Chains A and B, each alone.
Chain A
Amino acid sequence: MEGSKENCVPRIPLIPSSNLQGPRMKPLLHHRLPLGNISQNVNMPHSQVNKLDLSRKCTAHTIQHHFPQETKKQNLLAPNPSCKLDCDIVDIDDDDGDGSDDAVPVFVKHTEAMLDEIDKIEEVEMEDVEEEPVLDIDACDRKDPLAVVEYIDDIYSFYKDIENSSCVSPNYMTSQLDINERMRAILIDWLIEVHYKFELLEETLFLTVNLIDRFLERQAVIRNKLQLVGVTAMLIACKYEEVTVPTVEDFILITDKAYTRNEVLDMEKLMMNILQFKLSMPTPYMFMRRFLKAAHSDKKLELLSFFLVELCLVECKMLKFSPSLLAAAAIYTAQCSLYQFKQWTKTTEWYTDYSEEKLLECSRLMVTFHQKAGSGKLTGVYRKYNTWKYGCAAKIEPALFLLDN
């Protein structure tokens, strides 16, 4: 995994963490191996080696996982032991040509220092393999005021505390007489395209959808005013999030002049009254930023995660999941899609506060949306993420294996 630091396990550089193992991958090392036998035991499939980033020196701090969960994170930070590799890794590419599926071994070429050590302590057994450490993802940002490290835990615990107040009932549409879930989906799919056309900030889109749902939960709307609700919600979200705000005229034009200026401004007042100006609500975007950092994401993972979470915006049934769960599940599903095996490190679990198990229901739904994203009538998200600007993330194969178990 590009940019990952989770492979920095002290003294045994080649052990991947347990959750890096694919469905059929055998454990690579037994506990308490004699030091002298390492070279005989480090055989692993060649493809698996490529999934591990062994080139990085691990400079991040770690959180020792045996501490109780409720202890404040700051108290758990401990320096990570040096992770310099004691050996050089040499890939042997010459296949024996028999066409067998046997794993190509990775030979360990011992350095002089290592040979000395083996000579001295041939019979000394290794200590138990340490559990995968939790990295302090903010360690390198302590001196950067833009990272607001001293407040980051407070900020995200505040988000977690209030996120339920921003949620709506997943079946609120049943109280609407003239509109339904399908119409909502069409509206949001269209707004995703408008958002793309106006080149707005990502958070503006998430806030727009949040405002629409919270408004529609409280206010009955006739179908020919639904698009008006959508553009007005985006106007309000722009005023809250953007530095440069599109004008009312821009939004009228994008609806092909379906509404007048007064209709937009009256709807704005109505929405603000109904929502009581409560716009500081946590959305999946807010959690995505933090959780992607915990996942040590690269651009590919980030784009795929956002593709998956935006697919969820269109789906009414996804309203049953909290914003933080949606964000975590999107990253988990994206990792599974990219690496084609289950991937959820202790670090991501720690910072998201979700175990792999808690994410599976949401994640499986995301896989089904990913699977049918390019087909059907609502393909706004798919087309957006099929562009070079968004890394053609929509073309990445879905993690279908998540649907099997």
Chain B
Amino acid sequence: MLTLREKYYDFDQISSKVFKCRRDDQFFTMKIVSILNEENQANNGVPYWIIREISILKELDHINIVRLIDVMTDGPDLFLVFEYLDNEFQADFLKNPKMFMYPQMKKEFLYQILNTVAYLHARKILLRDLRPENILVNVRTQVLKIALFGAARTFEAPLEAYSSSVGCLSYRSPEVLFQFGCEKYSTPNDVWAVGCIFGEMLLHRPLFSGPSDVELLDEIFTLLGTPTEETWPGVTSICGTCALMGPPQQPKDLAKEFPMLNPDGLDLLSKMLCLCPNYRISAEDAVKHPYFKGV
């Protein structure tokens, strides 16, 4: 087996743990992951999230996913070799001022995100930590790439209960927020996160930003209304206590909150931000929504 230095050369440091390197006149991005770090004091070997991330990335081949080319171990470090994305790819895509120049561009990027999520779900992968920081875009070519699958995992049907302390709080779905650690979550959680990103694209600020689970739920219900047994069958048994839901609130008119959206866009947004996961649109159906006509 070839060593790292035999395989790759011309190392150029991008950040403390990320390098640009070459092999056969092709550029790659190399990410160094320390197996023994502060979070892994007990030294249980390769961290579970690295094992999951790499094995998931290994089987994926999609234009909108940063492709993992190679994995090598050397001493206490793992070297992940990814496809190289040039400087035109900007991380944290919503911070890119050019993002908001054309409405069509937002639609194009939203379509690419949903298309990727549908691809992942069809390959039994839950993303679980979809947020703007993990999305890179090339505004010139209008290509988007999703990176960092640290919180992704495969699922089997029927889904088991997984840890619910994953994902950035702002993009966490109400069913996960309700459960406090014992949620059997599924594909609708990823769709909720896409809905939040869609809202953020339009408003130029996070759609929900509560600092805690309870405050975040309150923000969600302020916009979308407090769920009832009609709108979310079984919600009272899920949340356990009505105190969590706060005083009943009526949903706001999304057309007034998002005046820049046409009726198709409003329909898609409302379906992605449907409180009840059972009724929330799937990524596969969202891609076929009339809002994307002409994309």
Cα–Cα, bound, A144→B47 (Å): 33
Q: Is the CB of B186 within 8 A of A239?
A: no
Q: Is the CB of B156 within 8 A of A286?
A: yes
Does A151 interact with chain B (Cβ within 8 Å)?
yes
Q: In the complex, which range does the number of interface residues on chain B fall in?
A: 35 or more
Q: Is the CB of B162 within 8 A of A148?
A: no
Q: Is the CB of A278 within 8 A of B188?
A: no
Cα–Cα, bound, A240→B44 (Å): 13
Q: Is the CB of A277 within 8 A of B55?
A: yes
* Chain A residues whose CB sits within 8 angstroms of the CB of B45 once the complex forms: 235, 239, 248, 264-265, 268-269
Given contacts A143-B278, A273-B73, A277-B54, A201 and B285 within 8 Å (CB-CB)? no
Chain B's closest residue to A271 (CB) is: B46
Contact of A240 among B52, B59, B121, B187 (CB under 8 A): B52
Contact of B51 among A145, A201, A240, A247 (CB under 8 A): A240
B227 CB to closest chain A CB, in angstroms? 15
Q: Is the CB of B158 within 8 A of A146?
A: yes
Contact of A155 among B122, B163, B282 (CB under 8 A): B122
A284 CB to closest chain B CB, in angstroms? 12
B144 CB to closest chain A CB, in angstroms? 22
Q: Is the CB of A239 within 8 A of B46?
A: yes
Cα–Cα, bound, A261→B55 (Å): 24
Per-residue interface assignment for chain A, residues 132 to 169, with 1 indicating a CB less than 8 Å from any chain B CB and 0 otherwise: 00000000000111111011101100100010000000
Given contacts A279-B51, A280-B56, A289-B158, A148 and B46 within 8 Å (CB-CB)? no
Per-residue interface assignment for chain A, residues 163 to 207, with 1 indicating a CB less than 8 Å from any chain B CB and 0 otherwise: 000000000000000000000000000000000000001010000
Does B132 interact with chain A (Cβ within 8 Å)?
no
Does B161 interact with chain A (Cβ within 8 Å)?
yes
Contact of B55 among A146, A269, A280 (CB under 8 A): A280
Contact of B157 among A143, A269, A276, A290 (CB under 8 A): A290
Q: Is the CB of A239 within 8 A of B48?
A: yes
Per-residue interface assignment for chain B, residues 102 to 139, with 1 indicating a CB less than 8 Å from any chain A CB and 0 otherwise: 00000000000000000001111000000000000000
Given contacts A146-B184, A148-B159, A278 and B59 within 8 Å (CB-CB)? yes
Given contacts A145-B187, A155-B123, A240 and B48 within 8 Å (CB-CB)? yes
Does A245 interact with chain B (Cβ within 8 Å)?
yes
* Chain B residues whose CB sits within 8 angstroms of the CB of A145 once the complex forms: 186-188, 277-278, 280
Chain A's closest residue to B68 (CB) is: A277
* Chain B residues whose CB sits within 8 angstroms of the CB of A265 once the complex forms: 43, 45
Instruction: Report the count of interface residues on A (CB-CB < 8 A).
Output: 39
Does B58 interact with chain A (Cβ within 8 Å)?
yes
Given contacts A276-B58, A277-B58, A278-B55, A154 and B278 within 8 Å (CB-CB)? no
Does B42 interact with chain A (Cβ within 8 Å)?
yes
Given contacts A144-B278, A146-B184, A248-B44, A151 and B121 within 8 Å (CB-CB)? yes
Cα–Cα, bound, A243→B155 (Å): 12
Does B1 interact with chain A (Cβ within 8 Å)?
yes
Given contacts A243-B161, A280-B58, A280-B59, A158 and B51 within 8 Å (CB-CB)? no
Per-residue interface assignment for chain B, residues 22 to 60, with 1 indicating a CB less than 8 Å from any chain A CB and 0 otherwise: 000000000000000000001111111001101110110
Among A359-388, those with CB < 8 Å from B are none
Does A272 interact with chain B (Cβ within 8 Å)?
yes
* Chain B residues whose CB sits within 8 angstroms of the CB of A240 once the complex forms: 48, 51-52, 55
Residues of A that sit less than 8 Å from B by CB: 143-148, 150-152, 154-155, 158, 162, 201, 203, 235-236, 239-240, 243, 245, 247-248, 261, 264-265, 268-269, 272-273, 276-280, 285-286, 289-290
Residues of B that sit less than 8 Å from A by CB: 1, 42-48, 51-52, 54-56, 58-59, 71-73, 121-124, 154-163, 184, 186-188, 277-280, 282, 284-285
A–B complex contacts, Cβ < 8 Å, 21 sampled: A146-B157, A150-B282, A151-B124, A151-B284, A154-B122, A235-B45, A239-B48, A240-B48, A245-B44, A261-B43, A268-B45, A268-B46, A269-B45, A272-B51, A273-B1, A276-B71, A278-B59, A279-B51, A280-B55, A280-B154, A290-B157
